[in-house]
Chain A
C-alpha cells in the first residue's frame, strides 16, 4: 500500500463495511486487511472506540457451540457513514483534480 490510511479514513471504511451488512471481528478485519493493509492490532481499538462512541453495537450469535460477536451500526453510525461518504466524494474529487494537474478553482 503506497498511501497511509489515517484514523478517520479507517473509521469511515469500518462504518461503510458494516453499513452493507453486520459482520464479526475476524471477517471484518480480513476484509479491511486485504484492501487497506492495516494490521489487526490497530483494528481492534478502532472497533472498540466506535463502539464506545455509540456508532456501532455488538450482539452475540451462537455458532458451532460458541458465541460469535457481531457488529452492527447504530442509527448514529448510519448517519456518520452518510456524512463520511459525502465528505469523501468532495475530498477525493479535489485530490484527483490535483493529481491530474487540474486547477482547484475551476
Chain B
C-alpha cells in the first residue's frame, strides 16, 4: 500500500465525522508518515493499523465523547429549573388548578352511581331492620300491624337485594374497564419513557 492509497482510504473511512475531526486525524496521519520517513513507512502502517481500523478507533472515541457531553448537558441545574418554574408560574398555576378541578369533577361523576346505590343499600337495610323489630314488638299488640310491618320488611329486603345485585353488576362492568384504562396509561408512560 502506498501513502496516497492509505490516506485516501482513511479519508473515505472518516466520512460522516465533523470536518474538524477528519482534518485533525488526516493531519496526524500525514505527519506520522512524514516522521517515520519512507524507509519506515511499512512499520508506520503496521503501527497505525489499516485505515479502516484507525478510523474505527477515532469514530468510537468521538461517539463516546459526544455521548458524555450530551449527558452532561441533560443534567439541568436545580436553580435554573426553579427559576423557569417561577417565571412560567402564571401559565402553569391556573392550568394546574383547572386540572385538579376537572379531576375532582370526573372522580365525582365516576363514583356518583356507586354512592347512590350504597346509599339505597343502607337505607333499605335500615328500613328492613327497623320494620323487623317493629313486627316482633307488634305481634303481642296487633296481629294486623305486625303483618303490615313484616310485609314492609320483606319489600325492603327485596329492594335491598335488588340494589346489591345492581352494585355487583356495576362493579363487574366498571372494574375491567378501569383496569384496562389504568393498564393503557401505564403502557403509554412506558412507551414515552422508551422513546426518550
Any chain B CB within 8 A of the CB of A25?
Answer: yes
| Contact A26/B36 with A41-B57, A45-B61 known, Cβ cut-off 8 Å | yes
Q: Is the interface of B mostly helix, strand, loop or mixed?
A: helix
10 example contacts (A-B, Cβ-Cβ < 8 A) are as follows A25-B28, A25-B32, A29-B32, A40-B49, A41-B54, A42-B57, A44-B54, A45-B57, A45-B61, A48-B24
B47 close to A (CB within 8 Å): yes
Which 4 pairs, one residue from A and one from B, show the smallest C-beta to C-beta distance? A45-B61, A26-B35, A40-B47, A41-B49
Q: List the B side residues contacting A68 at CB < 8 Å.
A: 31, 35
- Interface residue ranges, B against A (CB under 8 Å): 21, 24-25, 27-28, 31-32, 34-36, 47-49, 53-54, 57-58, 60-62, 65
Counting chain A residues whose Cβ lies within 8 A of the other chain, the interface size class is 20 to 34
Q: Are A44 and B35 in contact (CB under 8 A)?
A: no
Residues A44 and B49 in contact, CB atoms below 8 Å apart = no
A29 to B47: give the CA distance in the assembly, Å.
10
Collect the chain A residues with CB atoms within 8 Å of residue B32's CB: 25-26, 29, 40
Q: Per-residue CB proximity of A43-83 to B under 8 Å, as 1/0?
A: 01111110010000000000000101100000000000000
A39 within 8 A of B: yes
CB of A24 within 8 A of CB of B31, answer yes
